[in-house]
């Protein structure tokens, strides 16, 4: 029996963020474990029923997670570090301790899932790691679905990808220890009656060494050797599989899912691969990462190219639908015409079913889809010819500043900051009162004047708190901002914001990526009044806070009808206008955050040069044309910085703050080796954990930083913004940060 039409995964946070709310209530002690698990059970059941009723031939299971699929896999095979398992907590609380940390056990590292905005938790493995199949989650969820009368296909992170994404000196050395546990799991699934299992190997969308390809060969020859197993589907996504295609084609797996959206040319390589004739190919022609409606004729042409290449060709998504919102039908404020151009997860499932019928030669009405594609292509009003003229007139001097040494001297003369200046990344906790005021304003219960008064009161409270704490460079706290990208998108032409378009970023953290559908411009200043008000409250410098062009693209659903670099430069011009207006308003430090610089880096090295060219150019366009004495900061988080250090250097920011706590300052090795010679603020306080670091812990990290970065270029800051934390954690943590800073300053003399 073939798999037929299917998807590779589905959103799991809940259409109304039910899981988010249950998680946060559980962590706050307001519900018990049974209530949390019941929320998950209900969400899984609804998902399976919806996918069955939509007409999919095969339905995935084990795509649900209380936090993250990589953490689930580590727990499944008994590979959580002993600092968590020795705490004596329940299994669920041990799991959450690894995800979030507790006072005496810092959390696992967190980083981006390939080039997406989803964050995964990085398993910690070493030579002493032993694997034991201790978990039953894939079996439990299969049984749940079967009890509802629904047969499912359990989905697992593949063994090679799991090891390649783990932390350790030589994680692939553990492959021979891990594979028997996968074999045992497959045997148990077979005994349970499972017909198909899906093993995800997206790591092979990136460049891989000979040793890594050999690991893939060993893994799938061993896993398929066992006769008492389900049929195996291997899913490769986020790009073409490169040489991994041949490895998997020649292995005895039963089916292969390929991404034909990220790189459309990959279809020709798949079609030319002669070793697929005994397998089922799942053609990933429906985009799992963007929200535009699928062009049915282009999709069918790609899928049809594979007919004759394999025993069976079916239709699927390019990757899991985890990366898109649930249902565009729930959006009531989107322009009706724009809405017809969009497909969220529910609509993408319908597209898969319809395209599958068409590919099989069955009746399938594609007229509405064709009409929407044609209408979008004909929408000439999306072009802003003033913006395009500005781009055409750009010259090299528009992206250049004076040499750093000259700027640094001018900035120190203007700012007169002490050694190791302390600051925060930007946002402060969004209190219940702030959220209530925003909700009341949105609902019309609070007028503009009342809302502004409430936000100004919060800004003043945050400024006074920072002065009392003793921070050197202040922020206004961003109480008026719902999100670091959405806030700007709501004020820029060319963007649309959703009401229910939530997407999971990590754990209970959800974002609503805006939709960039047309040419971008800035009708009016967006942040100047708030920054100017905050600066008027204090003699200390207050940073203006902006989001950079690359991150605005990375955390939006971006138009796919022009090169990404062109869109980035349009956004950069809008940010440039804001930077200049902030400077004119007396703001002496402007932070332009680019946490997604590494995130958008193409997985193949052959595409890096082109990406860096437009990404760096966009940032420099946004931050140039200002006085030497105006200091430009940027911020980055949860990335492998060594891979993008030349680009970070090329951004030419005066100060770069970087996540460093969970990796225990490992980034400093990259900075030192790369000769990074500008200001840097390696984070000394992990804000994604509820634990409060003491002054001794922070001073230890600072001493380590001083050993790698000259003190006159070193800043002290948390890893990221404080929006998601509470003041009960933030105030003592920042007090300890300031205490540690003063202590290390004294030691330095």
Give me the percent of the chain exceeding a pLDDT of 90.
86
Q: Is 550 helix (H, G, I), strand (E, B) or coil?
A: helix
99 near 68, Cβ under 8 Å?
yes
Least confident range from 16-30, 444-458, 676-690, 713-727: namely 676-690
Q: Is 436 helix (H, G, I), strand (E, B) or coil?
A: helix
The whole-chain average pLDDT of the chain stands at 94
Burial class from Cβ neighbours inside 10 Å (0-12, 13-18, 19+) for residue 432 reads exposed
Residue 713 scores a pLDDT above 80: yes
Q: Which residues contact 213 (CB under 8 A, 6 or more apart)?
A: 243, 244, 247
* pLDDT at residue 674, rounded to an integer: 66
Cα separations in angstroms, 151 against 44, 52, 229, 669: 13, 9, 16, 50
* pLDDT at residue 664, rounded to an integer: 67
For residues 159 and 364, give the distance between their C-alpha atoms in angstroms, rounded to a whole number.
Answer: 38
Least confident range from 10-19, 460-469, 480-489: namely 480-489
- List, for residues 245-261, the tens digit of each pLDDT value: 999 999 999 999 999 99
Residue 639 confidence class, pLDDT cut points 50, 70, 90:
low
158 near 234, Cβ under 8 Å?
yes
- List, for residues 660-678, the tens digit of each pLDDT value: 776 667 777 777 666 788 9
* pLDDT at residue 659, rounded to an integer: 83
Instruction: Indicate the DSSP class of residue 545.
Output: E
Distance of CA 741 to the CA centre of its chain: 31
Residue 295 scores a pLDDT above 90: yes
* pLDDT at residue 467, rounded to an integer: 98
Residue 638 scores a pLDDT above 70: no
- List, for residues 611-627, the tens digit of each pLDDT value: 999 999 999 999 999 99
For residues 624 and 371, give the distance between their C-alpha atoms in angstroms, rounded to a whole number.
Answer: 43
Cα separations in angstroms, 26 against 19, 31, 37, 293, 692: 10, 5, 10, 37, 20
Give the residue-averaged pLDDT of 90-114. Answer: 94
For residues 76 and 155, give the distance between their C-alpha atoms in angstroms, rounded to a whole number.
Answer: 13
Q: Which residues are paired to 25 by β-bridges?
A: none
Q: Of the residues 66, 119, 633, 688, which is catalytic? A: 688
- List, for residues 353-403, the tens digit of each pLDDT value: 999 999 999 999 999 999 999 999 999 989 999 999 999 999 999 999 999
Which of residues 516 and 600 earns the better pLDDT score?
Answer: 516
229 near 156, Cβ under 8 Å?
no
Cα separations in angstroms, 329 against 15, 53, 334, 500, 501: 12, 17, 10, 10, 10
Least confident range from 25-34, 165-174, 360-369, 688-697: namely 688-697
Give the residue-averaged pLDDT of 66-83. Answer: 97
Q: What is the number of alpha carbons within 13 Å of residue 557 lying toward its C-beta? A: 27
Taking residue 647's Cβ as centre, other Cβ atoms within 10 Å add up to 21
Helix crossing, 727-748 with 695-706: angle to 10°? 50
For domain 411-748, the CATH architecture is: Alpha-Beta Barrel (3.20)
For residues 654 and 642, give the distance between their C-alpha atoms in angstroms, rounded to a whole number.
Answer: 19
Give me the percent of the chain exceeding a pLDDT of 70.
98
Cα–Cα nearest to 105, from 80, 79, 130, 125: 80
Phi and psi torsions of 154, nearest 5°: -60, 140
Q: Is 256 helix (H, G, I), strand (E, B) or coil?
A: strand
Residue 408 scores a pLDDT above 90: yes
Question: What are the counts of helices (DSSP H) followed by strands (DSSP E) for the chain?
Answer: 28, 19
Task: In the chain, list all ranges with CATH 3.20.20.210.
Answer: 18-379, 411-748
Kindly provide the b/e burial profile for residues 665-695, where b requires at least 16 CB atoms within 10 angstroms of the residue's own CB.
bebbebbeeeebebbbbbbbbbbbbbbbbeb
Cα separations in angstroms, 350 against 43, 432, 707, 722: 20, 39, 57, 40
Give the residue-averaged pLDDT of 10-23. Answer: 98
For residues 748 and 745, give the distance between their C-alpha atoms in angstroms, rounded to a whole number.
Answer: 5
Residue 119 annotated in active site: no
* pLDDT at residue 442, rounded to an integer: 86
Residue 59 scores a pLDDT above 70: yes
- List, for residues 178-199, the tens digit of each pLDDT value: 999 999 999 999 999 999 999 9
Tokens of 692: 């409060």
Residue 641 scores a pLDDT above 70: no
Has domain 18-379 been given CATH number 3.20.20.210?
yes
For residues 84 and 121, give the distance between their C-alpha atoms in angstroms, rounded to a whole number.
Answer: 14
Instruction: Indicate the DSSP class of residue 685.
Output: S
* pLDDT at residue 100, rounded to an integer: 95
| pTM (predicted TM-score) | 0.92
What is the residue-wise DSSP string for 478-506? -TT-S-TTHHHHTTSEEEE--SS--EEEE
């Amino acid at each position: 029996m073939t798999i037929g039409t299917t998807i590779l995964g589905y959103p799991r946070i809940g259409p109304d963020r039910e899981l988010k709310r249950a998680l946060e209530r559980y962590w706050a002690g307001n519900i018990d474990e049974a209530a949390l698990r019941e929320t998950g059970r209900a969400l899984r059941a609804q998902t399976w029923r919806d996918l069955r009723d939509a007409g999919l031939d095969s339905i995935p299971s084990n795509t649900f997670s209380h936090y993250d699929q990589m953490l689930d896999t580590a727990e499944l095979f008994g590979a959580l570090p002993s600092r968590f398992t020795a705490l004596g907590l329940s299994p669920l609380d041990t799991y959450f301790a690894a995800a979030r940390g507790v006072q005496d056990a810092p959390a696992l590292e967190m980083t981006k899932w390939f080039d997406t905005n989803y964050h995964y938790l990085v398993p910690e493995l070493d030579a002493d790691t032993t694997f034991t199949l201790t978990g039953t989650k894939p079996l439990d969820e299969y049984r749940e679905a079967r009890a509802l009368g629904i047969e499912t296909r359990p989905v697992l992170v593949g063994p090679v990808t799991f090891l390649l994404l783990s932390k350790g000196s030589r994680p692939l050395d553990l492959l021979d220890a891990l594979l028997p546990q996968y074999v045992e799991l497959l045997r148990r699934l077979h005994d349970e009656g499972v017909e198909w299992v899906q093993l995800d190997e997206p790591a092979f969308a990136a460049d891989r060494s000979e040793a890594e390809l050999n690991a893939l060969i060993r893994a799938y020859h061993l896993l398929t050797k066992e006769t008492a197993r389900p049929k195996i589907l291997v899913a490769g996504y986020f790009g073409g599989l490169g040489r991994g295609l041949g490895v998997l084609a020649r292995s005895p797996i039963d089916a292969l899912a390929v991404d034909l959206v990220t790189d459309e040319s990959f279809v020709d390589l798949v079609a030319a691969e002669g070793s697929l004739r005994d397998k089922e190919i799942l053609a990933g022609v429906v985009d799992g990462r963007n929200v535009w409606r699928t062009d049915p004729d282009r999709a069918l042409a790609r899928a049809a190219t594979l007919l004759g290449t394999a025993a069976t060709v079916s239709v699927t998504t390019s990757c899991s639908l985890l990366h898109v919102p649930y249902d565009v039908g729930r959006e009531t404020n989107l322009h009706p015409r724009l809405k017809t151009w969009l497909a969220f997860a529910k609509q993408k499932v319908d597209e898969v079913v319809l395209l599958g019928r068409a590919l099989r030669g069955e009746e399938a009405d594609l007229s509405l889809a064709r009409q929407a594609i044609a209408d979008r292509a004909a929408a000439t009003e999306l072009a802003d010819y003033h913006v395009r003229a500005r781009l055409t007139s750009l010259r090299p001097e528009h992206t250049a500043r004076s040499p750093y040494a000259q700027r640094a001297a001018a900035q120190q003369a203007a700012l007169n900051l002490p050694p190791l200046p302390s600051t925060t990344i930007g946002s402060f906790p969004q209190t219940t009162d702030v959220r209530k005021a925003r909700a009341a304003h949105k609902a019309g219960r609070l007028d503009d004047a009342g809302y502004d008064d409430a936000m100004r009161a919060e800004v003043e409270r945050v400024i006074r708190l920072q002065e009392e704490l003793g921070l050197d460079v202040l922020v206004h706290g961003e109480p008026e901002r719902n999100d670091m990208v959405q806030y700007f998108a709501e004020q820029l032409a060319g963007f649309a914001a959703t009401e229910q378009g939530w997407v999971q970023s990590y754990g209970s953290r959800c974002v609503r990526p805006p939709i960039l559908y047309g040419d971008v411009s800035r009708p009016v200043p967006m942040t100047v009044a708030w920054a100017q008000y905050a600066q008027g409250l204090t003699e200390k410098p207050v940073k203006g806070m902006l989001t950079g062009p690359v991150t605005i693209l990375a955390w939006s659903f971006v138009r796919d009808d022009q090169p990404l670099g062109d869109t980035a430069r349009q956004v950069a011009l809008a940010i440039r206008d804001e930077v200049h207006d902030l400077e004119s308003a007396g703001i002496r430090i402007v932070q332009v955050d680019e946490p997604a610089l590494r995130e958008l880096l193409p997985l193949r090295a052959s595409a890096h040069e082109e990406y860096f060219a437009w990404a760096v150019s966009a940032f420099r366009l946004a931050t140039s044309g200002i006085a030497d004495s105006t200091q430009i900061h940027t911020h980055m988080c949860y990335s492998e910085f060594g891979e993008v250090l030349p680009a970070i250097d090329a951004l030419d920011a005066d100060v770069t703050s970087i996540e460093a706590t969970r990796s225990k300052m490992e980034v400093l090795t990259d900075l030192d080796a790369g000769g990074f010679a500008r200001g840097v603020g390696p984070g000394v306080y992990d804000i994604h954990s509820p634990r409060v670091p003491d002054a001794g812990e922070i001073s230890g990290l600072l001493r380590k930083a001083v050993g790698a970065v000259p003190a006159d270029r070193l800043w002290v800051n948390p890893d990221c913004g404080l929006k998601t934390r509470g003041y009960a954690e933030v105030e003592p943590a920042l007090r300890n940060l300031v205490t540690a800073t003063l202590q290390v300053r004294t030691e330095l003399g």
